[in-house]
Amino acid sequence: QIDGIRESGLVNIAVLDYVAENIHAGMSTEDIDRLVAEKTKELGGIAAPLNYEGFPKSCCTSINEVVCHGIPSEEEILEEGDIINVDCTTILDGYYADASRMFIIGKTTPQKEKLVRVAKECLEVGMEAARPFGFVGDIGHAVEKHAKKNGFSVVRDLCGHGVGVEFHEEPDVEHFGKRGTGMLIVPGMTFTIEPMINMGTYEVFVDEADGWTVCTDDGLPSAQWENMILITETGNEILTY
Ligand code: MF3
Ligand code: CO
Ligand code: CO
């Protein structure tokens, strides 16, 4: 299973790299969706989001105050200064890989730039805390500490998750919490860490019109990075680098 998940991770990375090479101001989020669908297919994979619990597109595109699960649309055009998360989940030979990255469109404000950087650092400190025979709460603790130190908040309503044989498995990987709590981490586990970091309040709501788009309550920006990792005997291996 781990070999299969690792292979799926390689396709997932290639898809995100393809988005990175082609994303630019003036394109629509539907254009991004097309890139993801095309590249995934070309590499023999399936984009997991399409039709997942009714989700209508092949990836999630979440701009500025959209926290996650933004739905690609022909009407939504990338503008200079936007920050956007593109979240791709790949199925290859039945195995799932899940990762997302932020992209800054042209030049943005120093505050948004900092948010994107700190969110990435939050993922990094979370990955460092994911050790064999530690606890899932160690990860949340590390992420929350780093976000708070930088004056930002951590979304509490959504979390990372086990992944590999299915899209979402146990355990829930919360991005806040206490050291030494939650599930024991053991070698062979594969899960995501995907902190959503907000400039203002951690509170979010789901857009009632589409039932998916998660937005910050205060309309301030949010940033997220996601990796899928494998716990090894000595630490962890990033399966989506
Ligand atoms: N990729 C998201 C995650 O990190 C889940 C998206 S569900 C979808 O867990 F249906 F919106 F694609
Ligand atoms: Co995920
Ligand atoms: Co994801």
pLDDT single digits (tens) 40-96? 999 999 999 999 999 999 999 999 999 999 999 999 999 999 999 999 999 999 999
Which of the ligands is closest to the CA of residue 228? 2
Q: Determine if ligand 1 sits within 6 Å of the CB of residue 33.
A: no
Contact criterion met (CB below 8 Å) for 129 and 142: yes
**Whole-prediction pTM value?**
0.98
Which of 50, 62, 87 to mutate for ligand 1's pocket (most ligand atoms within 8 Å of CB)?
A: 87
Which ligand 1 atom sits nearest the alpha carbon of residue 59?
Answer: 12
What 8-state DSSP symbol labels residue 130?
-
Express as a percent the part of the chain with pLDDT over 90: 100
Determine the angle formed by the axes of helices 2-22 and 29-42, rounding to 10 degrees.
Answer: 140
Tell me whether residue 222 is exposed, middle or buried, using C-beta atoms within 10 angstroms of its C-beta: 0 to 12, 13 to 18, 19 or more: buried
The pLDDT tens digits of the residues spanning 101-135 come to 999 999 999 999 999 999 999 999 999 999 999 99
